[in-house]
Structure 1
């Protein structure tokens, strides 16, 4: 981020003013990516989700053997967890977050794909752990570096991994299944870059998913 800001402000007058403008831009981009977690919203959402599950499903079954494997993986010292999941329903993010949180794995940062979200829904999901690609990158997804938004996003992912916050990446976007989505490729590339550049020594990729008898 510092390198991009330095290159962008090179030749401009007033270093202090340029520094302030770049700082404001960085904070704006960061606010697009994530919001501070709200424990109150998490508790309310967990309560509401339990009520919703009782109405939508006859039962929710958790495979104990697979859960034990995930818990053992979470106990690996110094290695952040990156959960990779299929995406069958819009409920997947809430369900997986609830399950991981209820099992003592912390609140995961959940990637939200390219689907259109209202500002209110985006703000709510952000408070619950949702993270988003910056708007400029959503419009022009590519493998190339995307200037300041790309640099801020890469640094953010590095910090998430360094702090060992669980990261949940959805590989698909409903209703399209069995196809790696463009946002998923972007998030996976950021994780790869973090390991390649030495921001973290390694990551542990953990496949997870939810199967439905009937997709809600």
Structure 2
């Protein structure tokens, strides 16, 4: 009877030891699971920090690109302004020279015709003089029309260049908006991961 009790006690002790071992194994598994969870959280945190750093670097690069584009456009505007002033000066000089040449030629022709008419046809002198004056006026009008057409073409070209500059100014802003729209889902995903 005593030996049966001892065997029963031994069996109970063995069962307790087995239960304790099972509990220890479960505790170890829980600790390992907690470590894995902590590692995953650390990895997520590192990924979030890397994404934020990447976004910051991209924004800085975009700002630098915008700054460089603005500087380039300002330089281009200065060059265009100088070219514009130079062209205007050349046009004014050309206009003055053309007027002087036309006036000199017309004066010479008028003088010769005047002398010829006075010698040959004194009665027709007035009619010839009037015709020459009309021709002079027509030539001057033609010269002025040509110069006006040239100025209009130049102004149209300048307007097109200004429109292109405005388009170049707006392009970096559009690129920045598109990049921000592309980075917005990444930012929302990072926030969701942080909340989880």
What's the TM-score once normalised by structure 1's chain length?
A: 0.23
Structure in which a larger fraction of residues adopt strand: 1
Structure in which a larger fraction of residues adopt helix: 2
What's the TM-score once normalised by structure 2's chain length?
A: 0.24
